[in-house]
Amino acid sequence: MKKVLTVVLCMLLVVSFAFFAVACASGVDGVYRLSSVKLTDLFSEKVPDEIPQEIYDSFGTSAVGGYIELNEDGTFRLFTTLYTPNGRSPEEWDQYVTGLEIDISGTYTVDGDKLTLVSDSKTYEATIADKAVTLTMDEFGDRALTFTLDEN
């Protein structure tokens, strides 16, 4: 009986180690940075009807930047913010660009090249390949944005 129990415990340890090794082998944890995207590029297809042309024209060189941090424990943080030449967007932009300033966190899973981010209120689907995450969000007008692994 003692021998059987020892064999069963050894098998459980081996199976547990295998699951742990597979989970760690995904190797996707790290900080993925978004190169800044000009506001005018976000809306390059067509200026949304709700943005007056004069507001759109004033976006100039303002851009959205940010990162996705994937932690080893399966948690994430997605943060984007608006960068303007003077550091702060004018008040008249607020109703048009508020959705571009995002700070959400939650858990993530990886299945092959599919990355799923789950926050309290939403689930986001992305792809992860070649040290980059490509994410499409309705907050960005359904435009795919690519976040690249920061290897520093």
- The answer on pLDDT for 14 being more than 60 is no
Closest by CA position to 69, among listed 80, 60, 53, 56: 80
Is 3 within the bounds of a domain? no
Residue 44 CA from chain centroid, whole number: 22
Is 141 within the bounds of a domain? yes
Query: Tens digit of pLDDT for each residue in 117-140?
Result: 999 888 999 999 999 999 988 777
Structure confidence at residue 15 (pLDDT) = 41
Is 129 within the bounds of a domain? yes
CATH, residue 120: 2.40.128.300
> Does the pTM exceed 0.85?
no
Structure confidence at residue 3 (pLDDT) = 65
SS3 annotation, the chain: CHHHHHHHHHHHHHHHHHHHHHHHHCCCCEEEEEEEEEHHHHCCCCCCCCCCHHHHHHCCCCEEEEEEEECCCCEEEEEEEEECCCCCCCHHHHHHHHHHCEEEEEEEEEECCEEEEEECCCEEEEEEECCEEEEEEHHHCCEEEEEEECCC
Is 142 within the bounds of a domain? yes
Is 104 within the bounds of a domain? yes
Is 99 within the bounds of a domain? yes
Is 64 within the bounds of a domain? yes
Domain that holds residue 40: 28-149
Is 42 within the bounds of a domain? yes
Mean pLDDT of 2-21: 46
Terminal C-alpha separation, the chain:
54
| Number of folded domains that form the chain | 1
21 touches 14 (CB < 8 A): no
Per-residue pLDDT band at 24 (split at 50, 70, 90)? very low
Does 74 or 143 have the greater pLDDT score?
Answer: 74
Structure confidence at residue 152 (pLDDT) = 78
Structure confidence at residue 18 (pLDDT) = 37
Query: Tens digit of pLDDT for each residue in 38-69?
Result: 877 777 666 677 778 888 888 877 888 899 99
